[in-house]
Amino acid sequence: MQIIASAGSGKTEVVSQRVADLLVEGVQPEAIVAFTFTERAAAELKERIEARVTTRLGPEIIDQLNGLFVGTIHSFCFRLLQQHVPKYETYDVLDENQLAAFVSREARRLGVRQFDPKQRLFASVQRFLQNVEVVDNELLEFNDLPDDFQTVLENYYAALTRYRLLTFGQQIRAAVEELQKPDVASRVHETLRFLIVDEYQDTNPAQEELIRRLTGSDTELCVVGDDDQAIYQWRGSDVDNIVTFERRYAPVTTFEITSNRRSRPEIVEVANGFAQSIPNRLVKEMNPTRPAEGSSPRVLVWRSADEMEEARWITDLVLDLNEAGVPFRDIGILVRSGVAFGRLLEQFNAFNVPVQPGGRTGLFEQPEAIVLGMTYCWLSGINWRKPYQYGEQVELSSLLDQYATVFKLRGEPHKNRVKKVIKQWQEHAQTKDRSADLVGDFYELLDVLEVRDWDFDNLVRFNALGTLARFTSLLADYESVRRRARLDAEVHGEQVGGEWGGEWYYKNLALHIVNYAQGAYEGFDGEPDLTLDAVDITTVHRAKGLEWPAVFIPSLTKKRFPSFRTGRQQDWLIPRPLFNATRYEGTDADERRLFYVAATRARDWVSVSRHDRVTTQAVQPSPYWEELEDHQTDPNDIVLPPIETQSDGDVDTLAITFSELASFLDCGLAYRLRTLVGFPPRLAPELGYGKAVHHLLRHVAEHTQRTGVVPTDDELEQMLDSHFFLPTANKVGHREMKGAARRLIGNYVKNYEPDLHRVWETERPFELHLNGVRVSGRADVILDKEGGVPAGLAIVDYKTSADSDIAAYELQLQVYANAGRREGLDVRAAYLHDLNGTREAVAVDTSRLGSAEGIVEGAATRIRDRDFEPSPGKRCRACEVRTICNARAR
């Protein structure tokens, strides 16, 4: 089935109704998989499905939807790999920044520098990864590639395997490869009956191959999309997937939903006219359903003398809209690229126009990040250099003066305390036998900078705090990759530790900051706050799927929109005949689709503008602006039409994991700083120990279920050798913790063998739906035959740490037991099993579960109300963010 859903037609509603129809027909939730393009879209779709199903089947049905998958293709693939391919259980996924740091670390061993004519490290890494992305997107065969690139590529994939890492592209490629194996394919297809793909026009060849392999004689495929809104070709998406769908999947039933419920008729008319200029599109035309209202134009096209004047006019119009009753949050400013942000933000700041946070500026455009970046250059003897500028040596006195200005230090004594800290860092960088702790050391600096005394209610100060969190994440990304252990190629079952310090550990960090991070890391995104009344200024790509009553599309000049990079031929490492290079390099059709997306975000009013000059340099108008000249007006003559503000609607359900909930209950302020602001934990050698033990217990249980007998000592040792991996432990630490795991699991097998014959399911996901909140989590193991009843179940949660919060574990088990019963399972008991010794029963009677519900709902209310009350006490001594907390126990 193919559903062509035009802009504003209610595509999310169509998908949610499709899923609801299936559930009403009696299809089991686990038989349905729905792919979305983003996690945000997944959350929206899931909530919409729950609302529609509740209306048709009653509220009780929500608790029985646990098996329904709604999420991104990447998350589905990772779940598939971890569920069906044991080796992937201990793998971690690298994001783009971590991947760049990883390849920089491995560059010499891989021979990556050969791909840059000047042998520059970071230029060669960028070029290599750009081509790797194509290999993964297109599922290219390695043997077809040039020998030099093929050799490095094979070594790169081998390195990722040694370190137990996956990339975003590899997740899909690996899933496709595994689905070619009959046993994996049969297990996946055992339950899958309906596959729904939203935003199908944005799928790439690898994703299309995954979809093809998931579709079969027993699995119905339904794709939903609009070829006019295909805007991700530069990341590999292929609009031909949706254009040729009917031919490739025949016989196909196609539905067209062309009623535009979003925009006023004049906006729809302009968008329809512009869409006609897009070549090779599916023939269709949107039909408006909202009435025309008022005589003032809904589409305005205008020009200004220069970029600053354009920004001033937009600012005046935003203020006029607000004075006319339009909330700031109902106004969107959509640009082709970030180069257009500067003047707009400058004017908005000058006239106190509130702006939604959103990572629209680079991290190193913030003064705090610049000073900190210079610090790591100073201590490692690397010249500091801003992009496209010459480098210069950092002088300590000048650096300290900048600290004083940016962080508002209190006189010379305070400056000297900062000096003492960074001088210690410099000494550490030159000490060979000292282990580095970048994140931990950075938190100590924040203590000396007295960040804990900042007023977090002051937006400027809070955004600076967010900048510090982003910088800490940069350090954590670098450290997690540099300290990552790998499998020992010489000794099976052992691992080799990563880098732990030394002069070049710090030098490479400084080089990473100067040459990569400055251009790659975005600034603070801000906290989720649905009550914030502020203008949304963002790129068109980020605006996909969103809408505003009033929309501005500025900077329609010849080199900005369409982008001057469009169609520029690149020097690929991959022969052009092997793939459609033009798709990645961009075409005018791609840019036209992007402008179409921008224009169709508007509900009531859209402004399209350009400037004649940037400052003194004349610029040519965009051809798109010229094509809309019939709507041109003088900005002095603009009369605003009536604009219907968006309803706040129902309060969104708070979706939270149990781990996040437990963190909030432990301390509201720590939860805010870690989860919402984004301060990461420091890396510890024992990181991942509990996870590794849990995975081993799963293997022990599955072995017992499969063979009918518990594993022998030799078999346990083989499991340990194959599956016990600690991401940051060195060889000695790994041996010690492996020995500890061996004792724990050996004792469990010896003392609780009957349990292993009762395993009903391991790592079982649960979701508890309460008033305004959905809590998700995963139980370690579920036993059957509880109390001698075949269908009677007991949930068991394993504990490996002696100082764990028992109350949190009890609440967790009560939440899971409640969710299980609501799902229809006969959950009769719950146990907290300390792998170091005892097992304790946790009460799951109706009264206790009711009390647990009250705790969860109360916490959810506090989170929505932004009540992040601190809970000082003994816990503060082990808290990662204590140095930025003014409520910490002394």
Q: What counts of helices (H) and strands (E) characterise the chain?
A: 33, 23
Q: What is the pLDDT of residue 890?
A: 67
Question: Which residues of the chain fall below pLDDT 50?
Answer: none
Q: What is the pLDDT of residue 802?
A: 60
* Residue 554, token pair as written in the block: 């500025």
Contact criterion met (CB below 8 Å) for 686 and 726: yes
Contact criterion met (CB below 8 Å) for 314 and 304: no
Distance (Å, whole) CA 379 – CA 545: 46
Distance (Å, whole) CA 278 – CA 720: 58
* Residue 448, token pair as written in the block: 């000396």
* Residue 576, token pair as written in the block: 């052009």
Contact criterion met (CB below 8 Å) for 438 and 475: yes
Q: What is the pLDDT of residue 597?
A: 96
pLDDT in tens, 527-583: 766 567 889 998 999 888 889 999 999 999 999 999 999 999 999 999 999 999 999
Q: What is the pLDDT of residue 530?
A: 56
Within 8 A by CB and 6+ apart from 348, the residues are 315, 318, 355, 535, 537
Distance (Å, whole) CA 240 – CA 175: 23
Within 8 A by CB and 6+ apart from 173, the residues are 136, 139, 206
- Domains with residue ranges and CATH for the chain: 2-87+172-257 (3.40.50.300), 94-163 (no CATH), 268-356+532-637 (3.40.50.300), 363-520 (no CATH), 654-884 (3.90.320.10)
pLDDT in tens, 329-374: 999 999 998 888 889 989 998 998 988 876 567 899 889 999 999 9
Q: What is the pLDDT of residue 523?
A: 83
First to last CA, the chain: 64
Contact criterion met (CB below 8 Å) for 554 and 622: no
Put simply, whether the predicted model's pTM sits higher than 0.75 gets the answer yes
Distance (Å, whole) CA 12 – CA 545: 9
